[in-house]
Each structure stands twice: as structure tokens, then as C-alpha cells.
Structure 1
Amino acid sequence: MSTTRGVGYMGRYLEVKYTNQSGGGGSKGFTAEIQLKNAGLGEIPSEGWKLMLHHIHPIAKEILQMHDFLLVAKDQLKMRAIQGNLYSVEPTEKFKPLLPGTHITFIVFGHLPFSNKYKTVYPNWYVWFGDLEPVILESTTSAGLPFVEGFDGPDANWGPADRFNRNKFRDLKRFGQPVIPTPVEYRVQTDIKSEVFLSVDGYFRVTFPNDFENEGRLLEDKLSLISNKKENSGKRKFHISLKRGKAMFNSSTNTTNLILEDAYSVQISRNGCIIMAENPSGMCYGTQTLLSLLANDEDHLPTVHITDAPRYKVRSFMLDISRNFFNIHEIKLIIDMMATYKLNTLHLHLTDDQGWRLEFPGLPELTQVGSQRCHTTQEDIHLFPYHGTHPLCKYTSKKFLSVENYVDLLKYAKDRHVRIQPEFDFPGHSHAAVVAMAYRTKRLSEQGEQNEFEIKDRLDTSVHYQVGGYKDTTINPCMNTTYNFLDFIVSTIVLIHKPIQPLEYLHLGGDEVPESAFESSPACLDFLSRSMQMIKPAELQQYFIIRARMILHKHDLKLAVWEDGMMTSMKEPLDLKGPQKDIMVNIWKRNLDGLRSFSNKNYQVVDSSSTHLYLDHSQDPSQLDRGFNWATNFTDAQKIFEYKPMCLDTASEVPIKADRIIGIQASLWTELVWTNSQLEKQLFPRLFAFAQKAWYKASWEDKCGSPSSNERMAEDYELFINSVSYKELARLDRLGIQYYIPPPGVRLTDGKIEVNSAIPGLPILYSQERGQALWQKLNSPINHPASGGVLYFITRGSWGVGVVSLLHSQ
């Protein structure tokens, strides 16, 4: 068989089966068997080929970081760690041609500080021979990973009965609260005799002053979609008036901690609707409340008086588009949904080890090299194909936002009162930038020029690993050219934002820098020997942050970082000389300790708790549920809704300083998210619960642990989740947005089977077989079959079914 034919044959007929052998129920680490089967009629050659795969968790980390390779399959195959959990598998001299119908197996393993969950590999395994074009194994192309098995066993610590007990709320058969997020004041107009609803069966007429023209036009566009569905001939117009004025709260309402600049009121009577606000942002939120009321019933509006304002100034959602890129159309959809639910900050994680996603015309290498992932042996002209990226470069080009795209996003977000907060992650998580600038250095040196933006000490041959198995991830804080680079990035992004949405803060990441990253750098050793500031190697990250802050101040910007960017080598908040009130810190890692320590050092704190607000974590403890579990076993909508950090902090002698908590952020890292469908299902319905938490403070949040407050919390969640089911999901359906379908709860008591759902009202089906079985709808408790065995239960929604719940016979 020729080499050219051989690579094509392997792509078509080399079938992969990856079988998890790790136990559920909290077991640490992972073990899996990989089977490579020749499913064709030819032979798999004995030499010359390499198989490439990206594994989510590090394989044999300690061995492969110390040795060049690991022998597997009785020494017939050789496995190497390439970069960032990307691995190669190649035959040794002991490997014989793989004959038709035969297979070879080997074991992969690794230690994890948390239990193994979800399918731990990516799609698009591929083979390559020398200089030939790589070919993807067809058996691994599906995003659903059908070649991965062994993640559907019972979990000793969580099962269908646990789900059933968690879903204690009733199915109300209707929406429970009229608006999400909950308004501060919602008063039904009791002076209008017995009428509660007014018919709205004609045209909408919107009037507005010039300074609310943007909000008025957007409202008209939304209302036209409703009016066009009605037969309006001869019907009267319903008048909606947008007016500038102060939203007047009831005298009994404590407005001390509300963000009154975003306040609004909505009054609906027989004469029409008046929306009042002092600022365009408040008017935007008022129009969204009106649209939410219309979503309850497009033909009727309640006669109500609503007065409202948010609890937090910063209501942020972070989207990581570095690890996996999402284009402008999907980002705009997210901006629309943020505006609908009154979130006001889109934190865009634009750079990381796996990609640089924003064009900088003065440094074209950042996107020419740093945004493209495809097959390479050297990672010099582009990055390796991390996270199951297609290995052919023609399919992975232009995976970045051009300046034109970004400006378009800024305008789109500004119109909807969503501020875009860009993040450039330094000095760690910078592998893409390091590779791009290395290419620039090489190109310029060949022309006899120097790279004034060099960020890597080329004399430093030491190896340091960052999270995810990446090497060469840090920019060097001891070289002046590093700060030339940073100043260029800062000045350019300032200019891009200035005419549309001027920046107040610039987020510089600062997280997860390897502690020993700079210890062996000749540039740093020289710098430390000459330094008059008596800086220690462990303090070089702090030195970088201080110099970075000076650059930001030069451009009239304030610094924003993740909490570890402002921590000393003693793991305490950095106590800078001068005021710290202008530094914004996202608390994600130490959670309560971080909120406590940074708020008491007078930082501007944004609660970004990984235990409650990380949307890359799974929504159910099932091994089949997409998501991580390193911070917590799972995070569903209910957990976000019930999050109350002040109550979790009651045991501390130094409590959280609440007035320094300026905001809250939900974050979606995208290692496990590579399609729009996956992205949307990770967001919804959890984003509804997050929007509720970001806008409205419930009375039970300050009453920690009392039975009455817990009862009130349960009552509020019951109303909320019924609104999600009977109203908000229908809004998503109309927009074509997908959402997560939870596995059902199942309880067997005295031979009777009962079921419920985390989203009430969704149909639940059962079967005695799996796969292409005949599923039957379950409307009421049923008897367990006398034959025993296993029953399978699923929840069905508009976008398919959820993870299967298994009920074993007792």
C-alpha cells in the first residue's frame, strides 16, 4: 500500500473506541482503554504514521514531563506529550501491520485532584505521514463523541432518587413571576375596579424624546414583531410613552444599596404605558420589562406600576473565545440575551494559550500566527490544533475578530447598554502571543532588524508548565521590550474603543502564573542583580502588575485582574502604595476567602465564584453531563439562584466588606464547548438564574439559616423555575436558541415509580430498552415491572432529550 493511500485508508478504516474505566462517585484520577481497530480490508502499515489526539486531562503527567515518551500496548506503540495535552501515538519497531478485522489496545491514565467526569477527549483525531496532508479518522469526527464509552455507569454518590428529592418544587402549570429578573416593586393597580388585564389587540404607538431615540427605536423593532402577527385593521393603537424623569420608589423601600442611575418605572393603565427613567440605561431596562410582560400574553397587559433598580453596578458575563472561537453572530446573540435580562458587561476573554482572537494591524502576527490552529510539527507559523481543531489550515483560518468586527460589536453592544470589557491575559496564559512574537522575531532577524516587541527571553531554556500542560506560556517581566508590547496593546485598544465605548478598565488577566516561571531567565537574573528595589524572583509577577498599572494610568485606564494577579507570594492581597480603590479584582479561586480579604483591602471586587458562577461546570453530577467539576460537583440554576455569600461567611471574624462588592460575574470557559449548540446549552437556563441574582436582592439573602428564610427561598425558586419553564424557554424557542434539558428525577417507593424534572412541565419518557427504543410518556406514577431489570428515563424538550436516568430494580 502506498504511503498516500495508507493515510487515506487509515482515515477511513482505523476505528477508535475510547472506554472510560474510572469509577464514578468521586473517584480521583482516570484510567481509560483506547482500542484502534482496522475495520477495512487492507493493512495498517507498521511504520511511518503518527496518530494525534487532544485529551482534556493530562496523561501520565509525571512520566511524560520527565521522559521523552511512554511505551504502551506491550511496547508496540510510543506515546509523546507534544504541547498542552496534545499527544502523538506512533508505532515502534515491535509493531506489526494491523490486519483486517484486528485491533490493538492500550491504557492511558492520570491523576486528578477531582473525580473524572464527562467524555475526556476531543473529536478529530488524525493521522499523518511525513509531509503528506493529515487525515482525520472518520470514527472521531462527530461532536457527540460516539466513539467514547464508559461514562454512563451508576454514581454511588448521586442517582435518580437524589434528583427527585432536589426537585421539591411544584409544577404550577403556569409562569410564577411576571418578570425575570424580579423588579424591586411590582404593584397591581387596585383602583381600576376589578380589571387586572387590559386588551392589547391593535397597533403599538411609541413616542420618545430625542435623548431616548435609541431605546425607542429598539422597542419599536421588537413590538413590530408582535404587531405583524395581529390582524390590526380597524383596531385602536396602544400608546407607549418614554419619558425622562425620576423613578419614584415607595417610601417603605430601602434604596440605599440600589444603583439608582439605572432606575426606571413602568406604569400601565387604560390610557397606555408610561416608562420613566433619568438615563438611557434605565430606559433600556424599562423597555425590557415591558417586553417581558408582553411575553406572558401578547394580547393582554396587566395594569401595574413597577419601580425598579439593580443591586450591583457590574452585572457581567465572561465569554472565553480564545480556547474555542465563537464568531460575531453568536456573540451578538449573547449580547441580545444579556440586554433582555438586564446584564450590562460582556467580559471577552480574547487571549490565552490556545489563541489570540483580536486583530492588531500593527502586529499582524498576533492573529496570522496566534489565532490559527492546525497541523504543524514545530508550532512556528501557527499553533498546534488544540481542543480537537481540524488539522487542515484551510478550515481554521480567520478564527479571530477583525477590527471591523470588533467595532461592529462595540456599536451593537452600546446600543443595548452592554459594556464590552476586553481581557488580554498576561503575564501567564500567553502561549499564543509568545509563539506569534517568536515568529516576528525570526522574520525580522532574517531582514537584519530587531523585534522591539520581544516578550520571550530566548536565552531561557528552562521548562515550566501551566494549567493544561502548556509550556512557554509567560511573557517576561524583566525585559523592556515586554512593556513596549504591552503599551502597544493598551494604546491600540484604547483607540479602537474611544469613539464608541471609551474604556474605563482594561483587564490584564494575571492568573495562574507558574511560581518558578522566571527563576532561570538570564534576563531576570540580570535584572534582579541590578535592581535597587531588592525584588525577589517570586515577586516578579507583582513587579509586572505594578509596571502594567503605570502603563494603564498613562492611558487614563484603571486595572482589572483575576485575584491571583494581585496576590503576594504569601497568598495575600498585594498592598500597593497609594489607593487601591481603582483596581477591580475578579474573585474566582479562593471564593469566600478572596471576597473577604480583597474587600477588606478596599479593592473593587467582582464576585466570580467558581463554586457557584462558573458555567463551564456541569449542571448535573452525572458522568455524561457536559462540564468540569474541579471547583464543585455541579452548578445548576437552583444553586445559582440560592447563592448568598454573606450567609456562607457568617463564621468569619473578619466579614466580607459588602460595600466593596461592586458586581457579580458568571464565567464560561470553553475547553469543553466548541459548537454554538453546546455554548447555548451551557448558558441556558442558568443565565436566567444569574440575571436574577445580579439584579435583585431577595429578603432571605440576609437571613441566614432560619427556617422561615429557607421556606421563602424555596417559594421564590418555585415561582422562578415555573416562569423559566412556562415563559422564558418559549422566548428562547422563538429565537432559535437552544438550552439544557436536565435528566429526570426518579423515585421508587413501595413498587411505585414517581418522576419529576428540574424544569417543571417538560415531558418525561421511559423505556425498558436503551438506544432506539420505544419511549413512552409517563404522566402519573406507575408500577415497577415485575420482571425487574433496568428502566431508562429521559426528559424531552424542544432541543432534544437530556441525559438518561437509570433506575435499577431493588
Structure 2
Amino acid sequence: MKLSTVALTLFSLSVLSACSDNSQNESMQNKTELSDQVAPANVPETLQSAGQADIDLLAAVLDVKYRLVTNEPSVKCDKDKANGACFEVELSFTAKQDIKVKDWSIYFSQISPVQSFESDWAQVSHLNGDLHKISLSEGFTGFMAGETKTLLFRANFWSLSETDALPNYIVTGDNLTARVIASTKPMINPETGLEVLPYVEPYTDEVKHFKRDANDKTVWLTAERLYERNAAVNEHAQDISSHIIPTPKQLVETTGKPADISAGLSINWENVSQEEVAPALERLTSLGINFNNNGLPITFSKKRDGSKKPGSYLLSVTATEISIVGVDGNGVFNGLQSLAALLTPGSALLPAVTVEDEPHYEFRGILVDVARNFHDKAFILKLLDQMAAYKMNKLHLHLGDDEGWRLEIPSLPELTEIASKRCFDPEETTCLLPQLGAGVDPESGVNGYYSVADYQEILVAAKQRYIQVIPSLDMPGHSRAAVTAMNARYKKYMALEQEDKATEFLLHDQDDKTVYSSVQYYNDNTINVCMESSYKFIEQVMKDVKAIHAEVGHPLTRYHIGADETAGAWVDSPACQSFLAEHKAEIASSKELGAYFVERVSNMLAELDIEAAAWIDGLEHTNPENMPPVVQVNAWHPLAWQGHQSAHKLANYNWQVVVSSPDVTYFDFPYEADPKEHGYYWAARQINTRKMFNFMPDNLPVHAEFWLDRADNQYEADDTLQLDEQGKVKHAPLNKGLTFLGLQGQLWSENARTENTAEYKLFPRFIALAERAWHQADWAVPYNYDGFKYSKETNAFTAELRAQRDQAWFNFAHTLGTKELAKLDIGGVHFRIPTVGAKVIDGQLHANTAFPGLAIEYREQGKPWLRYEQPVAVDGEVEVRSVNYLGDRFGRELKVK
């Protein structure tokens, strides 16, 4: 499902090493050590132990800087970790006034575990997950005013983005109130509305900061390179007034005058109720269309047609009337959204067209992770509006993970009382550890949960928009929030001497001595699959969630187990040793316990009339004969690592495969190859709107002809039948006639701490996702059921098809720039305003954008911003940026060299 930035090589080599071994600075393995404060024996007697006033002062006056030194591996990298790769960071601490106290520590989040450090005054230890601790060493003598002390550390893999660093370093002392060091707090850029980290020094060196290693061929997207890339789309000129996104199956421009809707629209309802289309009408109203008895006639009707897919419709626009005929209420709803797509903001004219349309995929989804960092109800409701606008119909809501539990479960209040927030509580009796730079405030925006009433409001809004909500509370791995909450419940009831209640929903074996590390470096995040209390917990949660859904008429018919990234747990669990002894006939070893769990929970769900969904790595080791007949598989293995092979394997079980390839559908990844772009990059260094548009989800291996791997190197995709030495199938093409169920985009939220950042990551890539989910492109290469081996040397994607794709992209890009981004603005969506391509040619500035129609501004050094209309003479350093439709927000500025 979701590898962290630093987990890539672990995955590709199938090596999972413990994150706190074999190092002088990795000594703490459990929560109790978090509260221990270092008290070095040889600190000079002049240093007194810190009091609360000292902690407050440290938080206020300590100026922290984070400087990436290099990604280049050296002999100082630990050869037994991360395949010998590491990067170096220098942390500097400058005191604005004297600090003459001891017995204080700093806690900070660092996604890549620190493997070694160099310092004469402090030491670093990895605690759990991304949380680290800086303790004072014997060499600490205090700070003089203005003095700077440095600490150099090495961490696994690479750091290629400035957003790898996390905010909110915490300083505290024994039995003192923890404070966030002010210099490490995030700030909001007033022009972009995005969070920035002033304590992180810019990544500027193309070799040391931008590259993984000498084999990394990624090109930094400068303003000049972007200008060249944008040139073709800006040279393309065509009337796009009749273009609809997502593209209909068939659209014909008819002769005659356009429809003038300046007087509004007058509705003839026929056999359609207002309830069936109310949100679509509300959107049209928000775009400036009025509904009254004097407007242009518009007729809504439903006509059942068994040969048509659900949601299909016919739309006719003429100068005298508009007609929408749907096969169902959803079809009429979709027809109205296409009518909105024809509208150009600021114009009251609609082109005369006839549209016949139906969806390509049944499943058109987006995953939103609200577990890592919470995103509130208003964010989800706004997203549902945009999903409906672009005909998306599945919201995969990721509600539980290691860092948070976000849904109220009435029978288990501890889940939200404790696990819905992160703060500084070493014992985790009131909140979880402050992972992902959460800070100390339990009321901050990264914390929170949906009450039953909140969640039901989301369900009702989704149902009104023909969207199914598929909840996910990841298990058995990625479950630290649940494990911790149920442990707190255990302690509460044991203190009350109610052992039966204490152990009823316990999720971990208290005598388990297994040492393991999850992909995100947790050593305690996995539900014990050998305990009956674990299954009782799951059953109780599912019954509560099912009842919550049923109360508002949005039945829970599909639930996403997760089941991904479970590694190394249970080996030394006495509960599992006893369980294996009792079940040795059907379970050979602890390695098979994960599959047992998925099979058992899937069948438990089936008994509750709920279909099971899970990530491909959690399903590929199960026995299909032990699974229910309906199984949804999210295929997330990277294409550049032969990810199509596992997708085809499980599709050949006749399971429902939803394409979720991280090379293109992971919207937490950077939009472009630039260290200032937000996101992780373990499978792809850049995923822009055009890459999403170019995707051919029906034919996964063909992308080897024109895409590159994560380091911009060529790869080969083998989709032929291959057998092992015993004659068993290693991999094979899809069985004849099989197709995928659908397509899903993913927004993981590890470093999306604000709603603005989350929307920035989603849009406008989301619109291209909708295009690929709804419309089967004419230029897409049909899947070859006979099997084929694709590479840069093959030519299944011919020059003619590539030319057709490019023309389709030009139209799409112009439609975005002219119509759709303005509608996002009107809808209050904080989409990514594109960076500007620019070049100085013969003393004149030339500039363009990927989406023609957006305004561009430029400024020379020390001068105000000016609107760019055409090439203009400039002198000296120049910066460029684009402006949104409403003129109140700007894209990230780029320097022109």
C-alpha cells in the first residue's frame, strides 16, 4: 500500500532490519525509555538541572537549522543498512542568550532513522517510528549567548525534498511540561497558502542534494526547462468551448447557435425528483446559473436501458432547449455535471452539442488518508463535491493507521479518546507519541476524529452524490493507534480489577519478545493475529461501523482491511507459539499467520454481508480457495518493478483489481522534480497532471516503452508466461478477456499537515485521474493477452498513437487553464497553481504555463510584480509566477537564470 520515502530498498530487496540495533546511538526500544532523561555524571557542577522556566526559555531562544550536507554515500554509511546508502545532515543550535542548565532533551521526527552521529556535546537515539531523541552528553558545558553547536547525523537512504524534514522539535526535562522550539514551527507562505519550514536550509546542489547516486538521471525542472516543455501546448490553438472533462464517450458539435442561459434555466422534471440531482443543481448555481420559470427550458428524464452502464446519459444542447436523459438518477446527475463542464466562467453561452456518454470503469476512486494527519469534515465534504463534478464514485477513507484513529466507535471510546491525537505523553495514557512532527498540542489541526454525527453527515453527502464510502482501518500491521488505545483500556480496567473487560479487546501479547521493525520503523504496530481478543475487537468495530452506515441509509457493503506491510511480527509471541502448536496441520509456520489473518477476517466480513478489500501484498499470499467469492485488490506494486505481474496474478483469480500504481496514482509524491515540491518519492520523482493523463491503466506493462523508473532510467516490463524449474507459473499475462475493476488515486498524508497542502497535492492531478477512470482513450494501446515484453526498443505505442495522445493532451490542458481551474477556484479548492516556464532570449523574457489561460507575473530584482502579456525586456535577475482565476493566490515563484 504505502512505502515511506526511506523504505524503498527494503521493499525491493525484501530485507527488513530492526531500526535500533548495532549502533552507539540507537539504544531505546520501547516507550518506557522515552520518559528517561539523560543525567551525565561528568557535567560541570555549574550547570543546574533545568526547571520549567529554563524549558520555556530554551523553546523561545534556541535557533535550530537543518542543513542537508550530502546524499553521496561514504565509508561512514552503515553497510548493513539501506543497502549501504545514507545521507548526512548537520543540525545547528544557536542560543540567543546564555543557557547554563542540564538535564533537558530534544525530541524530533526524522522519517529516515538515524544510523550514526558525530557530536562532542550530544547524542542521538532512535525511539520508535520516526521519533528520535537528542540527549546531552558528558561534553555539554552549556551555551554562551550567540554560540552555535552542531550535530552531524547520518540517516538511511536519501533526502531529496526539503519537506523530508519535519517540524516541531520538542524540548523538555524530567517531570516538566514539554514545549515546541519556536524556530522549528511551520509557517504559512501568505502568497501560496502552503506550509513552509524556515528552519530547513534550501537544497541547492544538483549532485549532493538532488541526486540519489551517480546512476540517478533525474533532471531538475528549472524555469528554462519548463519553458521548453510547455512550448508545444502553448503553440496549440483550438476552440475548446465544447470540451468536457472527463471526456465523453461520444460528443458531436451540432450546427446552430449556442444556447444563451443568461436568463437562467427553467426545469421540466418529468420522472426525475429534485432529490436525485440536488447537489448537481447547487453546483450549477455556484457557477452563476439561475433557475427560474423564464429561463431556457431544460428537461430531465430517466429511461431504463439494460444495455447501458449505470450512470450513463444523453445530453442535448440547442439554442432553444436542453435535454438530459439518464438510465437512472445517477445518469441525469452526470449529465448535469457535463453541462457544468461546458460552461466557461464569465460566459452565458453554451455550445450546441449532442453527448452520449457512459463510464469506462465501474470503480473510480480516490483514497484520502486522514489517519497520519487529520483532515476535517469540511475538507471531505468539499472533496465530495469535486468527486461528483468529475464523476468519481468511490471514496476510500483511510481512518486508522499507526499515527491515528479517526472514527468514533461508540462501544470502544478509548480509540478516539487516546488514539485520535498526538502530543507529548511518554506513557501514552492520554495521546499517542508525537510522530510526524505533531508537536505537543492535542488540539492542533493534525489531530482529531469524526464523531458518529460527522461521519454520518459525510455518508449522507456521499450518497446524494452517488459516491460509495469505503472505510479502512488498517490491520494487522499499521495498527499502532489501535494497539495503543486497547493497551490503555487494558490498564484502566486492570486498575479497576476487571480483568475480563481488560483483556476483552486486547490486541497484543504482553509476553511477546519479538524484535521487529515495520516499514515505517515501528516496533509495536502489529495486531497479534493469534489472540481471539483481536478478532473480537475487529468484529466489534465492524458491527459498530455497519450500524453507523445503516442508520443513514448508506449500507456498509465493502470494507478495506488494509493487510499490507506486515513483517517480522509474532515470531517470539507465546500466544502464537501455542496457536501454531494447536493448528500445525493447517499453518506450517509464523510466516503464514498473515495470510491466515486476512482469510479469517475476510470471511468474518462476508458473514456480516460485507465484501473484503485489501492491498495486494496482503492478499497475494492467501489461498484463493479460503477467500470469499468477491475480493477487491488494490494493486500498488510499482510498474518499474514489474508491478503488473502481481496485478495480473490476482486478476487471474477473478478477483476485482483496482489499479493503484504508485508510479502515477500516488498524489503524495512530488508534482515535479524540484526539492521544493512536497512529497515522498520512493516510486516516482515526479507525478504531474500530464503523466496522470498519459496513463493507460488497461495495459500496465506498456508503460516501459515511454516511462522511466524512479531515477529516470529505462526499464523492461516482462508480461510473458514464465515457469519456474518445477513448472509452476512465475508470472503470466491476464487471462483472455479479463479486465480491471477500476482505478484509484491515493493521497497519503504523512507530510500533508494542512487542508491547503492536501488540496494542493490532489488538484489538478485529480482531474486527470477522473479522465482516465471515466474515459477510455482512443490512443491507448490495447492489452495484448498473448503476452509481450515491453521496453524502449519496442513500438506497441506507435508514433501515430503518440501524436493522437499529444493532441488530446493539448485540448485537455487548454480546457483546464480556460475553464476547470477557474471552477476549482470558485469551489474554494486550494489547487496547485502551476510554476511558470521562462527563458531570457536576447534580453527579453519569454514565459508560459502548462495550462494556457492562466495569468503570469514577473519581477526584476527589487521591483514590484508586473503582469506578463508578451515578451518583455528585462535586466538582471528575474522571477516568475502564475496567478489563479480569482487573483488572490499565486504559484511558487521560480528564478530565471
SS of 2:385's equivalent in the other structure is helix
The aligned residue for residue 163 of structure 1 is 226
CA distance in 1, matches of 2:52, 2:627: 65
* Structure 2 length-normalised TM: 0.81
Q: 1:749 to 1:502 in 2, by over 3 A?
A: same
The aligned residue for residue 151 of structure 2 is 106
> How big is each residue's C-alpha offset from its partner over 1:416-440, in whole Å with a ceiling of 9 and x where there is no partner?
1111100111110000001001111
Q: 1:246 to 1:555 in 2, by over 3 A?
A: closer
Q: Among 744, 761, 767, which residue is 2:853 paired with?
A: 761
Equivalenced residues, count: 767
CA distance in 2, matches of 1:353, 1:490: 19
The aligned residue for residue 522 of structure 1 is 574
CA distance in 1, matches of 2:91, 2:843: 41
CA distance in 1, matches of 2:874, 2:390: 43
Q: 1:381 to 1:498 in 2, by over 3 A?
A: same
Is residue 691 of structure 2 the alignment partner of residue 639 of structure 1? yes
> How big is each residue's C-alpha offset from its partner over 1:713-733, in whole Å with a ceiling of 9 and x where there is no partner?
000000001111111111112
Q: 1:550 to 1:220 in 2, by over 3 A?
A: closer
Structure 1 residues 723-802: aligned runs within 5 Å: 723-747=815-839, 754-766=846-858, 769=861, 774-775=864-865, 777-781=867-871, 792-797=879-884, 798=887, 800-802=889-891
SS of 2:602's equivalent in the other structure is helix
Q: Among 279, 303, 316, which residue is 1:245 paired with?
A: 303
The aligned residue for residue 630 of structure 2 is 582
Is residue 117 of structure 2 the alignment partner of residue 53 of structure 1? no
SS of 2:397's equivalent in the other structure is strand
Tell me if structure 1 keeps the 8 A contact 2:162–2:200.
Answer: no
- In the TM superposition, residue 698 of structure 1 has moved relative to its aligned partner by 0.9
The aligned residue for residue 417 of structure 1 is 466
Tell me if structure 2 keeps the 8 A contact 1:592–1:645.
Answer: no
CA distance in 2, matches of 1:433, 1:559: 20
The aligned residue for residue 805 of structure 2 is 713
CA distance in 1, matches of 2:310, 2:598: 32
Q: Among 638, 646, 652, which residue is 2:719 paired with?
A: 652
CA distance in 2, matches of 1:163, 1:655: 38
Tell me if structure 1 keeps the 8 A contact 2:345–2:823.
Answer: no
Is residue 725 of structure 2 the alignment partner of residue 663 of structure 1? no
Structure 1 residues 491-640: aligned runs within 5 Å: 491-499=543-551, 500-514=553-567, 516-531=568-583, 532-568=585-621, 574-577=622-625, 581-590=629-638, 591-640=643-692
Is residue 765 of structure 2 the alignment partner of residue 695 of structure 1? no
CA distance in 1, matches of 2:808, 2:85: 37
Of the structure 1 ranges 688-697 and 180-189, higher mean CA displacement relative to structure 2 is found in 180-189
CA distance in 2, matches of 1:287, 1:176: 16
CA distance in 2, matches of 1:552, 1:334: 28
Is residue 87 of structure 2 the alignment partner of residue 30 of structure 1? yes
Tell me if structure 2 keeps the 8 A contact 1:246–1:276.
Answer: no
Q: 1:245 to 1:215 in 2, by over 3 A?
A: same
The aligned residue for residue 20 of structure 1 is 68
Is residue 365 of structure 2 the alignment partner of residue 316 of structure 1? yes
CA distance in 2, matches of 1:430, 1:696: 37
SS of 1:476's equivalent in the other structure is coil
CA distance in 1, matches of 2:888, 2:367: 25
- In the TM superposition, residue 23 of structure 1 has moved relative to its aligned partner by 5.2
SS of 1:149's equivalent in the other structure is coil
SS of 2:804's equivalent in the other structure is helix
Tell me if structure 2 keeps the 8 A contact 1:505–1:560.
Answer: yes
CA distance in 1, matches of 2:569, 2:482: 16
Q: Which amino acid aligns with 1:36?
A: F
The aligned residue for residue 163 of structure 2 is 119
The aligned residue for residue 67 of structure 1 is none
Q: Among 198, 203, 209, which residue is 1:151 paired with?
A: 203
Q: Which amino acid aligns with 1:48?
A: D
Q: Among 200, 203, 212, which residue is 2:264 paired with?
A: 203
Structure 1 residues 227-376: aligned runs within 5 Å: 236-246=294-304, 260-295=309-344, 298-376=347-425
Q: Which amino acid aligns with 1:736?
A: G
Tell me if structure 2 keeps the 8 A contact 1:624–1:803.
Answer: no
Q: Which amino acid aligns with 2:561?
A: L
- In the TM superposition, residue 275 of structure 1 has moved relative to its aligned partner by 1.0
Of the structure 1 ranges 473-482 and 136-145, higher mean CA displacement relative to structure 2 is found in 136-145
Is residue 158 of structure 2 the alignment partner of residue 94 of structure 1? no
SS of 2:331's equivalent in the other structure is helix
Tell me if structure 1 keeps the 8 A contact 2:419–2:432.
Answer: yes
Tell me if structure 2 keeps the 8 A contact 1:28–1:116.
Answer: no
Q: Which amino acid aligns with 2:234?
A: R
> How big is each residue's C-alpha offset from its partner over 1:511-560, in whole Å with a ceiling of 9 and x where there is no partner?
1001x211111111111112131432111000001110121111011110
- In the TM superposition, residue 504 of structure 1 has moved relative to its aligned partner by 2.0
CA distance in 2, matches of 1:793, 1:725: 17
Q: Which amino acid aligns with 2:131?
A: L
Q: Which amino acid aligns with 2:250?
A: E
Is residue 252 of structure 2 the alignment partner of residue 187 of structure 1? yes
CA distance in 1, matches of 2:685, 2:281: 44
Tell me if structure 2 keeps the 8 A contact 1:152–1:624.
Answer: no
- In the TM superposition, residue 381 of structure 1 has moved relative to its aligned partner by 3.2
The aligned residue for residue 73 of structure 1 is 119
RMSD: 2.7
CA distance in 1, matches of 2:312, 2:607: 34
Tell me if structure 1 keeps the 8 A contact 2:110–2:166.
Answer: yes
Q: 1:552 to 1:346 in 2, by over 3 A?
A: same
- Percent of counterpart pairs with the same letter? 28
CA distance in 2, matches of 1:800, 1:122: 25
Of the structure 1 ranges 307-316 and 220-229, higher mean CA displacement relative to structure 2 is found in 220-229
Tell me if structure 1 keeps the 8 A contact 2:242–2:353.
Answer: no
CA distance in 1, matches of 2:864, 2:674: 23
| Structure 1: unaligned runs, 5 residues or longer | 64-69, 249-254, 569-573
CA distance in 2, matches of 1:104, 1:683: 40
Of the structure 1 ranges 263-272 and 13-22, higher mean CA displacement relative to structure 2 is found in 263-272
SS of 1:169's equivalent in the other structure is helix
- In the TM superposition, residue 290 of structure 1 has moved relative to its aligned partner by 1.5
> How big is each residue's C-alpha offset from its partner over 1:50-74, in whole Å with a ceiling of 9 and x where there is no partner?
21211232222xx5xxxxxx6x422
SS of 1:437's equivalent in the other structure is helix
Q: 1:177 to 1:595 in 2, by over 3 A?
A: farther
CA distance in 2, matches of 1:28, 1:645: 33
CA distance in 1, matches of 2:628, 2:494: 42
- In the TM superposition, residue 108 of structure 1 has moved relative to its aligned partner by 2.1
Of the structure 1 ranges 662-671 and 576-585, higher mean CA displacement relative to structure 2 is found in 576-585
Q: Which amino acid aligns with 2:751?
A: L
- In the TM superposition, residue 227 of structure 1 has moved relative to its aligned partner by 6.0
* Structure 1 length-normalised TM: 0.89
The aligned residue for residue 133 of structure 1 is 177
Tell me if structure 1 keeps the 8 A contact 2:438–2:446.
Answer: no
- In the TM superposition, residue 286 of structure 1 has moved relative to its aligned partner by 1.0
SS of 2:801's equivalent in the other structure is helix
Of the structure 1 ranges 794-803 and 552-561, higher mean CA displacement relative to structure 2 is found in 794-803
> How big is each residue's C-alpha offset from its partner over 1:85-144, in whole Å with a ceiling of 9 and x where there is no partner?
1112122232112111111111122122x6622332222222112222222222122231
SS of 1:266's equivalent in the other structure is strand
